[in-house]
Chain A
Amino acid sequence: MLRPRLYRTTTFRLALLYAGLFSLSVVALFAIVYWIAATIDTRDRHRIIEADLEELVIVRRCALLPVLVEVVLARTLPSAGGGLYLLAGSNFEPIAGNVRVWPQNAEIDDPWMRFEFGRAEFGDLAPHWAEAKVITFHDGTSLLVGRSIQSQFQAAITTAFAASLLLIMILGAIVGVFMSRTVLRRIEAINDSADRIMQGEVKHRMPVRGSNDEFDRLAQNLNAMLEEIERLMGSIRAATNNIAHDLRSPLNRLRNRLEAMHRQMPEPARREEELEHAIGEVDELLQTFNALLSIADAEAGAGRGNLVPVDLEALAHDVADLYGASVEDHGLKFESTIRGPAIVIGNRQLLFQALGNLIDNAAKYGASGGLVSLELKPAANGAGVIASVGDRGPGIPEADRGRVLERFVRLDDSRSSPGNGLGLSLVAAIARLHHAVLSLEDNKPGLKVTLQFKAAAAAG
Chain B
Amino acid sequence: MDAIEPVQIVSKFGAAGTAPAAAKEFAHSMRVLVIEDDAQTAAYMVKGLTESGHTVDHANNGRDGLFHATSGDYDVMVIDRMLPGLDGLAVIQAARAANVSTPILILSALSQVDERVAGLKAGADDYLTKPFAFSELLARLEVLTRRKAPMSVETRLAVGDLEMDLLSRSVKRAGKAIDLQPREFRLLEYLMRHAGQVVTRTMLLEGVWDYHFDPQTNVIDVHISRLRQKIDKEFPTPLLHTMRGAGYCLRAET
Contact = CB atoms under 8 A, between A and B. Distances in A.
Contact of B211 (A273, A286, A294, A352): A352
Interface in B206-245: 209, 211-219, 222-223, 225-226, 244-245
Interface string A312-356: 000000100111011011000000000000000001111011001
B110 to A, nearest CB: 10
Contacts of A273: 14
Nearest to B117: A306
Given A302-B112, A318-B211, A353-B213, A326 B219 contact: yes
Contacts of B129: 290
A287 interface: yes
A425 to B, nearest CB: 14
B209 A322 contact: yes
A323 B209 CA distance: 11
Contacts of B14: 272-273, 275-276
Contacts of B111: 290, 293-294, 297
Contacts of A275: 13-14
B211 A306 contact: no
A276 B13 contact: yes
Interface string A264-301: 00000000110110010001001100110110010000
Nearest to B181: A321
B114 interface: yes
B113 interface: yes
B209 A350 contact: no
Question: How large, as a class, is the contact surface on chain A?
Answer: 20 to 34
A287 B216 contact: yes
Interface string A244-282: 000000000000000000000000000011011001000
B135 to A, nearest CB: 11
B222 A349 contact: no
A97 to B, nearest CB: 106
A375 interface: no
A286 B131 contact: yes
A325 B223 contact: yes
Q: Which of B205, B222, B223, B244 neighbours the largest number of chain A CB atoms within 10 Å of its CB?
A: B222
A360 interface: yes
Contacts of B217: 326, 360
Contacts of A347: 113
Contacts of A353: 213
Contacts of B47: none
A321 B222 contact: no
A303 B223 contact: no
7 contacts: A272-B14, A273-B14, A290-B111, A323-B219, A325-B222, A329-B225, A356-B215
Interface of B: 13-14, 111-114, 117, 129, 131, 133, 183, 205, 209, 211-219, 222-223, 225-226, 244-245
Q: Which 6 A-B pairs have the closest CB atoms?
A: A326-B222, A272-B14, A325-B222, A329-B222, A303-B114, A326-B219
